[in-house]
Amino acid sequence: MSEPLVLGIETSCDETGVGIVRGTTLLADEIASSVEQHARFGGVVPEVASRAHLEAMVPALERACATAGIKLDDVDALAVTAGPGLAGALLVGVAAAKSLAVALGKPIYGVNHLAAHVCVDQLEHGQLDEPSIALLVSGGHSSLLLVPDITNEVVQLGQTIDDAAGEAFDKVARVLGLPFPGGPYIDQAAQDGNPLAIDFPRGLTNPKDLEKHRFDVSFSGLKTAVARWVEREQATGNKVIVNDVAASFQEAVVDVLLRKAIDACLSNDVNTLVIGGGVAANSRLRTVASQRCAEHKINLRIPSPKLCTDNGAMVAALGSELVRRGRNPSSLDFPASSAMSIKLPVAH
């Protein structure tokens, strides 16, 4: 059997993504982002995102097919993000994918957004080692996962108990007067800053917290600590060196994430760590992850930055893997679930 040709649709937040893969070969990855429409609000507005998906869906599908050199009828299966994400945004993608599945007479897979973030690495680095540990960090998610089988069994070891990492980047950027989304701007500012200038707290890393939250993360306290530090400096007339604050904040986030991820690998006797999600594009996270994984002889896999943010390629990649392993497709009545559990890599 030839490698499956799968079209994937992603609309969980503010990117309309359409990806096409054959097996593990990426043929097209079209993205229409509505981030500029949300910037003036300082965050994603669900209704604005949903309307943007409606407007972008057909053009994105047309561009993806043209780039891949295929017709819609050529695909073997469709995959779409069923959750988690913004309810209205998810509904646009799920409705579009179901319509295509009916019209084309093709099977459809409603996939888990988080599992897709893990699986996309296969498009660049080949078959995923199983089991693996996956660290997923984005504006909406901070999760630490044990992945025995990306198509059937994913175990959540830990997650954020408050702000996700990307959300903390956005909020700290606002405190520092940097634009939205905050991640890229803090990363850029930190390049010229001293990461040791300010000793910001590392949440959930003391012995008492580790007893209950060994693999969980918390960034609400860190975000508040940055805001209070800036307020004190301004109140006393001191100049706030944005580069140093950005670098010190970023260092605290990276340190906590990688402490937890390395511990998860060692305690579960797993020697492969996959890092995904929008925050995985952060240059400091990538550098420190490479250093710490090398120290512990852990195989590190991180997709290129363009595949870390939300995209259709990751959905198509997971759909392709489901087809290759002979997993049953979803029924046409599967829901769009804003709180879809990672225990379900695919909806049925």
Write the pLDDT tens digit of every residue in 48-75. Answer: 999 999 999 999 999 999 999 999 999 9
Residue 1 has pLDDT above 60, yes or no: no
Is residue 125 assigned to a domain? no
Do 240 and 164 belong to one domain?
A: yes
Is residue 107 assigned to a domain? yes
Please report the pLDDT score of residue 38 as a whole number: 85
Please report the pLDDT score of residue 36 as a whole number: 86
At 330, list the tokens: 């979803």
Give the whole-angstrom CA distance, residue 205 versus residue 95: 43
Do 288 and 317 belong to one domain?
A: no
Residue 343 has pLDDT above 80, yes or no: yes
Is residue 14 assigned to a domain? yes
Do 319 and 288 belong to one domain?
A: no
Do 34 and 141 belong to one domain?
A: no
Average pLDDT over all residues of the chain: 96
Q: Count the Cβ atoms, other than its own, within 10 Å of residue 126.
A: 10
Element at 136 (helix H, strand E): strand 132-137
Do 147 and 224 belong to one domain?
A: yes
Query: Please, what is the end-to-end C-alpha distance for the chain in angstroms?
Result: 25
pLDDT tens, residue by residue, 125-137? 999 999 999 999 9
Please report the pLDDT score of residue 40 as a whole number: 83
Residue 269 has pLDDT above 70, yes or no: yes
Do 155 and 103 belong to one domain?
A: no
Q: How many structural domains are present in the chain?
A: 2
CATH number at residue 139: 3.30.420.40
Read off the pLDDT of each residue in 243-268 and give the average, rounded to a whole number. 98
pLDDT band at 344 (very low <50, low <70, confident <90, very high): confident
Is residue 268 assigned to a domain? yes
Instruction: Report the relative pairing of strands 5-10 and 77-83 from DSSP bridges.
Output: parallel
Please report the pLDDT score of residue 162 as a whole number: 95
pLDDT tens, residue by residue, 153-194? 999 999 999 999 999 999 999 999 999 999 999 999 999 999
Do 106 and 163 belong to one domain?
A: no
Please report the pLDDT score of residue 53 as a whole number: 97
pLDDT band at 43 (very low <50, low <70, confident <90, very high): confident
At 294, list the tokens: 């090398």
Q: Which range marks the domain in which residue 259 is found? A: 130-305
Please report the pLDDT score of residue 41 as a whole number: 85
pLDDT tens, residue by residue, 288-318? 999 999 999 999 999 999 999 999 999 999 9
Residue 18 has pLDDT above 80, yes or no: yes
Alpha helices, DSSP H only, in the chain?
35-39, 46-68, 87-104, 113-119, 122-125, 165-175, 182-190, 207-213, 220-235, 242-267, 283-295, 305-308, 312-324
Read off the pLDDT of each residue in 225-243 and give the average, rounded to a whole number. 97
Please report the pLDDT score of residue 188 as a whole number: 98
pLDDT tens, residue by residue, 68-81? 999 999 999 999 99
Do 301 and 320 belong to one domain?
A: no
At 308, list the tokens: 């870390």
Do 272 and 295 belong to one domain?
A: yes
Give the whole-angstrom CA distance, residue 70 versus residue 135: 34
Do 289 and 151 belong to one domain?
A: yes
Is residue 176 assigned to a domain? yes
Nearest to 243 by CA among 284, 209, 194: 194
Higher pLDDT, 35 or 183: 183
Give the whole-angstrom CA distance, residue 163 versus residue 295: 29
For 63, what's the count of Cα atoms within 13 Å in the CB-facing half-sphere? 15
Please report the pLDDT score of residue 140 as a whole number: 85
Residue 42 has pLDDT above 90, yes or no: no
Residue 117 has pLDDT above 90, yes or no: yes
Contact indicator for 172, 253 with CB cutoff of 8 Å:
no
Do 98 and 217 belong to one domain?
A: no
At 101, list the tokens: 């599945």
